[in-house]
Amino acid sequence: MRLLWLGAALRAASVLAQGISSCPGYIASNVQDSSSSITADLTLAGNPCNAYGDDIKDLKLLVEYQTGSRLHVKIYDAEERVYQIPDDILSMPKPGDSSGPRDLEFALEENPFSFSVRRTSNNQVLFNTSGQALVFESQYLRLRTSLPNNPNIYGFGENADPLRHDPQNYTHVDWNSGEAFMPPNANLYGSYPIYYDHRGGDGTHAVYLHNSNGKRINLGNDSEEFLEYNTLGGVFDFYFLSGPSPKDASAQLAGVIGFPTLMPYWGFGFHQCKYGYQDTLETAAVVANYSAANIPLETIWNDIDYMDYRSTFSLDPLRFPLSKMREFVNYLHHHNQHYIVMVDPAVASRDYPPFHDGVEKNAFMKEDNGTLYTGVVWPGPTNFPDWLAPHTQDFWDEQFGNFFNANSGVDIDGLWIDMNEASNFCDYPCPDPKKYSIEGRDPPRPPPARMSSPYDIPGFPADFQPKCVATVTFNVGALVPGGNDLLLFGDTVSIGNNTPFYAPNMQGSNGSWSLTAQFPANSKVTYSYPLYTHEGLYIFEAQNRTLHTQDCGSVSSVSDDWSVPNTSAVAVPDVFYSPVQTSTSKFDFNSSDPAGSMKGLPGRDLISPPYNIGTYDGPLSSQTLPTNLHHANGLAEYDVHNLYSSMMGRRSRNSMIKRRPGKRPLIITRSSYAGDGARVGHWFGDNRSIDRDYRLQIIQMIQFVAMFQMPMVGSDVCGFNYDTNPTLCARWAVLGAWNPFYRNHAEFSAIPQEFYRWPMVADAARKAIATRYRLLDYMYTNFHRQSTTGTPMLTPLLWEYPEDSNTFAIDMQFFHGDALLVSPVTTPNDTSVTFYLPNDLFYDFDKFTKIEGQGANVTRDNVGFSDIPVYIRGGSIVPLRINSANTTTELRRENFELIIAPSANGSAFGDLYLDDGGSLEPTKSSLLHFEYGNGSLAMHGTFRYNAGVKLSSIKLLGVNESSCSGHNSSTQTMTRSVNFPLTKGFTINLAQC
């Protein structure tokens, strides 16, 4: 299928090359030029080419000098009927003070119309559209800009490609997709139509296209190098950011799409999850095992396993009963730990309150005739929230308020939102969701419910400890018709009777089926083997079977014969696929909206547009919502598909804040759009336990933090898909500790990979977490800086050394903040790594020894599996906690140490931000600035928050000689014990003993 679809995309590109050449472009007229803006009318210059839709005859041009460093250029239809992103989804900045000097200058050619943007300081042309005619059609827009020779182009996410894109042949597709395994050259979970053009000493600029439609962006060369936008709709709404440094351009982007939200302090701790924690007992055991292994665990997560047959806002009553869940969460909170669960957007189409509440509030997506649109996700047939409907926020608030109620529900601390591209297993047109679900075994049958843990779980209540049970293995010799399952059904609570037919699959192979389950000891068990058919029916045996279990702790087995029941057997439909009665109403929107509506032109082919952007999964509606659906406000899913997850993040954040007023929520999303960092964080999705994906996280981390203003990001440490191994997991535990978001997570069928499973991994994790926790306030300070100024907390080397051409392609090293250069081992089994040290002064983070970078590669050998090369850049002051701790709550009680790494001229600088770590809008905070020079250290700043700790140690690096008692001649350091409060400034002469 994918090969056929790619072939269609290539053919479309060929047609494009032939048909687009006849497009006439536009002529500009009525040009109005003021001191801060330019407007013009654009009229089709000749006969329409109608290459992929109807050419729109009349356009408008708006140019705004919004600030000295930001230029806004918008080309849109004169009637303003073409879809534009609504301000209530992503609000764009208004013009500010542009009376001062301008970094950028706009110029246009009237006939044929084209425009250019140049940098005023050096007359460099940054953007020039004169090479090809502008095309603006009902379902296709094309605009091309020329590029300099051998350009350095970065950005365009989400992707799994090298950091610097190949300017001769690179294609990026914006179309949010739930594609697993991180394939290269594919559209992944999020859309970020942002690029950076780095020109060394001539500066860096960034360009953001405010357009949520599907698009294909090409880099290529056909007599000159170019960058070309091909979109399926919307308008050309550009923001040009002048830089001139890469960091400046990053910060300026935050002024356009929004500054990142500050995450709670505890969110920077270590997190553990696995798809497949079968019950509260196993989840609690993981927490206890981390404690026993002396590996700090801040937050434990549950995947969809906790749900009743994968249904959002429900609990499996046997494996995750509410009473035990509340005991579990109370235990965590009592031990200063945290809890997060997954919430998928799609709500099961079954008889339960969330479904009925959504129907009542008209909160679900509908067909144009008013019937609910039904797709298929994990719970089987499902309905999808319409985030743009007027009462969906109320619906979402109500579900969060009830299910996650602190007094009566599951009191989560953070939220994990997944499958929100939106993911839909049943491709368009999905005529029979029930049949598709049954054939796909959605929802999957849960494992046998356990009555008891097989071993002690230290520290947890009695409900979590071993009980008197007997274990029985059922062996059945059976041949069943193809496509059918054999189930075990019984009347004891251990198998389940919360619904009439609540039964786990038996595992079958070559006619031999077996299943192991727990039962009360010394008890009679009545059971049978119903056949579950691919029509969704249970076919029962004519009579029940019985057995008597043995004593506590016994392990026994039973062997039974079985044959297909005859026609007189009882057949009962699966309640999960029974139709649910609903009343619906047709949406009241006009398919021919008037001028100014900006909802999209009528008559478009919303399922199979003429132009093929070449999505990895095939047609636009593959594995997602049909693009011909309309939201309650009249917007087509075709236009807002890439914003579905963004709106879910916004609604979920509102709901989390409503249930915990005044508290910062930690929300981690899979799918996202530009600007979502203002509300949520992101994990990189379903990677694999392979070397390539271990390396890929470095590139992804750099892109999201430094280029997309989404700093709370990280990978599934040790890999999600496939089985990991000790060396890979050890390396990943160490590298993952430098992700802003740090979580170990694995897939259902993968082996358990918690850090305590292997001694070498446990050792690596202890050291990595200890280092991370001691540096947590340094990370938190840099995160706060990004949330207030846009200056990225983590950068590629070229962001720090923009004129060093050796750094332009480096994507396996990064700076954490301004001070720490991290150069991980990139082949996990190796114990040596070659990396680049710029022409600068550095100090080894572990040994404190000084090293002069020569602007060349260096090789470091004998890098243990618990180690990672980290260097402090000269001129930096790094604040650390004196000790690590088991939780971030305990960590905040530790005093601080400063490491001073002087530059070649003997100076150094650093910052420390302090607040309560959790308030949505802290009323009190401190921002401390440290300055070192001429042997003297001074602290000044704003002192509004009393952290209750002090600065108790200062370590000065690069001290060759000293008569002071704190001098270490082997490391060339001098350590001074001090006792300075962090509530007022001080000055100390470190040259004096």
Tokens 């399922």 found at: 607
Residues 6+ away with beta carbon under 8 Å from 245: 203, 204, 799, 802
Q: What does DSSP assign to residue 721?
A: B
Residues 6+ away with beta carbon under 8 Å from 7: none
Nearest in space to 290 (alpha carbons), one of 838, 820, 753:
753
Instruction: Specify whether 222 is catalytic.
Output: no
Q: Whole-angstrom Cα distance, residue 200 to residue 208?
A: 20
For residue 500, what pLDDT is reported?
30
Given CA atoms 803, 809, 811, 813 in this order, what sign does their dihedral have?
negative
Report residue 204: phi and psi, to 5°.
-125, 135
Q: CA end-to-end span of the chain, whole Å?
A: 75
Tokens 């001062």 found at: 100
Q: What does DSSP assign to residue 405?
A: -
Exposed (0-12), middle (13-18) or buried (19+): which is 688, by Cβ within 10 Å? buried
Residues 6+ away with beta carbon under 8 Å from 699: 160, 161, 162, 163, 811
For residue 429, what pLDDT is reported?
96
Nearest in space to 825 (alpha carbons), one of 919, 699, 946, 694:
694
- How many CA atoms are closer than 13 Å to the CA of 290, on its beta-carbon side? 26
Q: What does DSSP assign to residue 491?
A: S
Q: Could you tell me the two tokens for 256?
A: 């356009």
* 893 Cα distance to chain centroid: 31
For residue 478, what pLDDT is reported?
80
Nearest in space to 350 (alpha carbons), one of 342, 358, 361, 340:
358
Q: Whole-angstrom Cα distance, residue 207 to residue 70?
A: 10
Type and span of the H or E element at 8 = helix 2-19
Rg (the chain; Cα; Å): 30
* 800 Cα distance to chain centroid: 25
List pLDDT tens digits, range 245-287: 999 999 999 999 999 999 999 999 999 999 999 999 999 999 9
Q: How many CB atoms lie within 10 A of CB 942?
A: 12
Integer angstrom CA distances of residue 653 from 498, 650, 673:
33, 5, 15
Given CA atoms 884, 885, 889, 890 in this order, what sign does their dihedral have?
negative
Residues 6+ away with beta carbon under 8 Å from 71: 63, 64, 65, 104, 106, 117, 239, 240, 242
Q: Whole-angstrom Cα distance, residue 256 to residue 270?
A: 32
For residue 506, what pLDDT is reported?
59
- How many CA atoms are closer than 13 Å to the CA of 276, on its beta-carbon side? 13
Q: Before 9, cis peptide (omega within 30)?
A: no
| Global confidence as pTM | 0.96
For residue 202, what pLDDT is reported?
98
Q: How many CB atoms lie within 10 A of CB 594?
A: 10
Pair type for strands 414-417 and 485-486: unpaired
For residue 503, what pLDDT is reported?
46
Q: Whole-angstrom Cα distance, residue 11 to residue 519?
A: 62
Residues 6+ away with beta carbon under 8 Å from 134: 25, 26, 42, 75, 113, 114, 142, 143
Whats the size of the chain, residue-wise?
993
Q: Whole-angstrom Cα distance, residue 227 to residue 208?
A: 13
Q: Could you tell me the two tokens for 596?
A: 């100014």
Residue 851, SS3?
A: strand
Q: State the catalytic residue, choosing from 308, 485, 686, 915.
A: 686
For residue 536, what pLDDT is reported?
81
Whether the CB-CB separation of 142 and 132 falls below 8 Å is answered with yes
Q: What does DSSP assign to residue 704?
A: I
Type and span of the H or E element at 433 = helix 433-440
Integer angstrom CA distances of residue 836 from 808, 823, 953, 964:
12, 8, 32, 36
Instruction: Specify whether 298 is catalytic.
Output: no
Q: pLDDT under 70 in the chain at which residues?
A: 1-18, 482-483, 489-510, 567-569, 575, 581, 583-592
Pair type for strands 896-901 and 876-881: antiparallel
**Amino acid at site 863:** V
Q: State the catalytic residue, choosing from 77, 308, 418, 911.
A: 418
Whether the CB-CB separation of 53 and 137 falls below 8 Å is answered with yes
Q: Where are the beta strands (DSSP E) in 845-972?
A: 850-852, 856-860, 870-873, 876-881, 896-901, 908-914, 926-933, 936-943, 950-957, 967-968
Domains of the chain: 24-257 (2.60.40.1760), 462-577 (2.60.40.10), 778-989 (2.60.40.1180)
Q: Could you tell me the two tokens for 661?
A: 């007023």
Q: Whole-angstrom Cα distance, residue 749 to residue 722?
A: 8
Q: Whole-angstrom Cα distance, residue 889 to residue 894?
A: 10
Exposed (0-12), middle (13-18) or buried (19+): which is 180, by Cβ within 10 Å? middle
Q: Could you tell me the two tokens for 797?
A: 């080397």
- How many CA atoms are closer than 13 Å to the CA of 555, on its beta-carbon side? 3
Q: Whole-angstrom Cα distance, residue 849 to residue 510?
A: 64
Q: Whole-angstrom Cα distance, residue 770 to residue 177?
A: 37
Q: How many CB atoms lie within 10 A of CB 65?
A: 23
**Amino acid at site 838:** P
Residue 569, SS3?
A: coil
Whether the CB-CB separation of 266 and 888 falls below 8 Å is answered with yes
Q: State the catalytic residue, choosing from 421, 541, 754, 811.
A: 421
Q: Could you tell me the two tokens for 484?
A: 């059918």
Instruction: Specify whether 803 is catalytic.
Output: no
Q: Whole-angstrom Cα distance, residue 491 to residue 495?
A: 7
Whether the CB-CB separation of 464 and 456 falls below 8 Å is answered with no
Exposed (0-12), middle (13-18) or buried (19+): which is 634, by Cβ within 10 Å? middle
List pLDDT tens digits, range 134-171: 999 999 999 999 999 999 999 999 999 999 999 999 99
Residue 325, SS3?
A: helix
For residue 492, what pLDDT is reported?
43
Nearest in space to 183 (alpha carbons), one of 302, 352, 6:
6
Report residue 420: phi and psi, to 5°.
-110, 30
